Amino acid sequence: MDTDLANMAQQIGRARCPEDIFGTLTGLPEEQLRAARGIFHSLSKVIHPDRYTLPDDQQLAHRTMTRLNGLWGEARIKIAAGRYTRDRGSIPPTIRMSTRRRAYDVGTLIHTDEVCQHFACQFEVNGLTQSGEFKIARVPQDNDLVRTEAQALRHLRTDKNFERLWPFVPEIFDSFLYDDGRTTPRQANIISCMAKTYSLEEVRREYPDGIDPKDMAWIWRKLLIALGFAHARGILHDAVLPLHILIEPEQHGLILDNWVYALREPIDSGVYLTALVSAYEAWYPTEVFARQPPCPSLDIFMGACCMVSLLGGDPITGEMPAAIPGAIASFFRGCLWPAPQHRPQQAWDLLNEFTQLIERLWGPRTFRPFVMPAR
């Protein structure tokens, strides 16, 4: 592990607001912006993934660059609004906001991604206090992506099997424009959150040599259930990536998060992806860059990349460690064909195929405890 990268990743990872990285900025807004941009470029030179060749360094650089991009976006917003250093959070530590549906108590910033800031929040549903997540677009230009998530999750909820399959996707409670009176209104969603979850990014970080294929098996099966459910309703997730797949280790729970890139019936409508996660650009298949309308095999391709990475392999080339059973390696190679029409298109069929494969390899399925460090 590169020492400079590790130190920088630790510093950026600990930051709770842009001031922790860009420090005190003085002068007019344009002077503050110029100074912050200089710091951003200096840090980017150290942590840019292209600087590194070792897979672990590249993964850490990708994660750190994503976090830095989020902080840089927050800094620009606060400078433009004249709020930089005046409040060290984009939203006060705890505020109450009300919509036509209900009131929400919004608390601390959890994390920031390329599109949204994520805050913890609490609210009442049928007299019971519920914890959730307040997601708000970092910039107004991304309001349409946040609306896309709300539309996709609401559409999934109309499925007759939703009550059986809801644990695999977030529940949408509200969607509205948040106007603080100081900046252009930004779209926000209130969604459910699962307790004690870990992203596959965190799993990969905890198991740098890869997890046991038997542990990967339950994650892949549950991801295919989530995808099969969505595809049956005509929704493609379009960003099946490690940071969007959350697992609950103790009970083997899984939730496919962050539906801001989702498309509905893209083959019929002719729409194609117009936004992607830049830190994972190399994980997307070629049809995305050819601006072809995506089909279900896109989600399957990206999900397979996640599993290859979990097993300690290379998600870009599809190569896996020699210790991985040949039947497993061959299965995922079949999901990673460059041409989308050659890949599996039906997540439900693929789930049945994979279930039969692992039962041939290991016999009847049994519960295997999976351990992640306590937070």
> Is the pLDDT assigned to residue 217 strictly greater than 80?
yes
Q: Which residue has the tokens 């989530």?
A: 226
Which pair of structure tokens corresponds to residue 173? Answer: 């409670």
- Reported as a single tens digit per residue, the pLDDT across 43-82 is 888 888 778 888 778 778 877 887 787 777 777 767 776 7
The enclosing H or E element of 123 equals strand 116-125
Which CATH fold topology does 3-80 show?
Helix Hairpins (1.10.287)
CB atoms under 10 Å from CB of 324, counted, come to: 18
∠ at Cα 229 (118, 226), nearest 5°?
50
Q: What DSSP designation does 122 have? A: E
Domain ranges within the chain, ordered by starting residue: 3-80, 95-192, 198-362
d(CA 216, CA 242): 13
* Dihedral class, residue 344 (left if φ above 0, else alpha if ψ from -120 to 50, else beta): beta
Among 26-35, 168-177, 202-211, the least confident range:
26-35
pLDDT for the residue 37: 87
d(CA 102, CA 132): 13
The enclosing H or E element of 334 equals helix 326-335
Which residue type, as a one-letter code, is found at position 162? Answer: F
pLDDT for the residue 93: 54
Which residue type, as a one-letter code, is found at position 154? Answer: R
Among 183-197, 220-234, 331-345, the least confident range:
183-197
pLDDT for the residue 55: 78
Q: How confident is the model at residue 87 (pLDDT cuts 50, 70, 90)?
A: very low
Average pLDDT, whole number, for the chain?
88
- Reported as a single tens digit per residue, the pLDDT across 303-319 is 999 999 999 999 999 99
pLDDT for the residue 81: 66
What beta strand segments (E) does 186-241 contain? 186-192, 198-199, 235-236
Name the 3-class secondary structure at 276: coil
> Is the pLDDT assigned to residue 273 strictly greater than 60?
yes
Average pLDDT for residues 275-299, to the nearest whole number? 94
- Reported as a single tens digit per residue, the pLDDT across 327-350 is 999 999 999 999 999 999 999 999
Which pair of structure tokens corresponds to residue 209? Answer: 């040599």
Q: Which of 219, 225, 217, 220 lies closest to 165, judged by CA?
A: 225
CB 209 within 8 A of CB 200: no
Q: Give, in words, the CATH class of 95-192.
A: alpha beta
Query: pTM, whole model, 2 decimals?
Result: 0.76
pLDDT for the residue 89: 44
Query: Is domain 198-362 classified as CATH 1.10.10.60?
Result: no
